[in-house]
Amino acid sequence: MKIRKEFEELGKDEEDAIKKICAKYDLTPDQIEWKGEVVSEKKIFGLLDKKNYRVKAWIKEDVLKEKEKEFLRQVVEEIVYKIDIFSEVKIEEKKNEYRVNINGDGSGILIGKHGKNLDAIQYLVNKICHKNGNFKKRIVIDAEGYKAKREEKVKNLAIKLGNKVKKSLKPVVVGSLNALERRIIHMALKNDKRLRTKSFGKGDTKKIIIIPATKKN
């Protein structure tokens, strides 16, 4: 399954081309916007004129969002089903991300040690959705609110360490964080003009250093 955002069809007239698009991609005319043009005019045996009408159409933004959510839900539910866990999938749309929360039996298996299983599922879901669904938004996978609680702890940690750095004027290094958690620290402190944050290292060993803005580095 793929989410197509743009379509093109030929018809004997505009209405015919639109009907073809809707039938082929399971859409209704009110779900799309389009523009059309006559692309050819031929004579058949020198007797009849034949006109082809080409329509380029695209899914309306609100319809696309609903199709993305449904696609995302199907992907997550299929993965959870294969793990043999009964669960409920809830999707919340935010400005730059879709946040998926999985609730139900077996959440411990989904989460794994230090959230490793969730990270693996999140990686897989993002790969599938961005490749097959052409998603633009980041997708965050959570279970029983585990990540939300963890992210709140990381945010509080960032503020606490930021205050420590401002008081001591000495840099502090924070490790053992995944990419999302490192981003949370960056975002939590980015508006504090007395602090700077930098990531260093590679892969899973990447760390963050919180530096007093007055200290050159």
User: Could you say which of 37, 58, 79 is where a domain stops?
Assistant: 58
Examine residue 20 and state whether it is found in any structural domain, yes or no: yes
Query: Do residues 19 and 34 share a domain?
Result: yes
Identify whether residues 140 and 81 lie together within a single domain: yes
Residue 71 neighbours by CB under 8 Å, 6+ apart: 1, 3, 129, 132, 133
pLDDT of residue 174: 93
In angstroms, the CA 15 to CA 11 distance is: 8
Mean pLDDT of the chain: 87
Q: What is the pTM of this model?
A: 0.73
Tens digit of each residue's pLDDT (9 = 90 or more) over 173-199: 998 788 888 999 999 999 999 999 999
Residues 46-83: pLDDT tens digits? 555 667 888 899 888 888 889 899 999 999 999 998 88
**CATH number of the domain residue 188 falls in:** 3.30.1370.50
What's the number of domains the chain is made of?
A: 3
Q: How far is residue 118's CA from residue 67's CA, in Å, rounded to a whole number?
A: 24
Q: What range does the domain containing 22 cover?
A: 6-58
Domain match, 82 and 134 both: yes
Residues of the chain below pLDDT 50? none
Domain shared by 11 and 73, yes or no: no
CATH code of the domain covering residue 69 = 3.30.300.20
Query: Which of residues 87, 122, 144 is at a domain's end?
Result: 144
Residues 113 and 136 in one domain: yes
User: Residue 217 falls within a domain, yes or no?
Assistant: no
Check whether residue 25 and residue 90 sit in a common domain. Answer: no
State whether 30 and 94 are in the same domain. no
Q: Among the three residues 144, 174, 196, which one is the final residue of a domain in this structure?
A: 144
Task: Tell me whether residue 104 is exposed, middle or buried, using C-beta atoms within 10 angstroms of its C-beta: 0 to 12, 13 to 18, 19 or more.
Answer: middle
1: in domain? no
Do residue 54 and residue 80 come from a single domain?
A: no
Q: What's the CA gap between 61 and 80, in Å, rounded?
A: 29
On whether residue 156 sits in a domain, the answer given is yes
**What pLDDT is recorded for position 39?**
77
71, 41: one domain: no
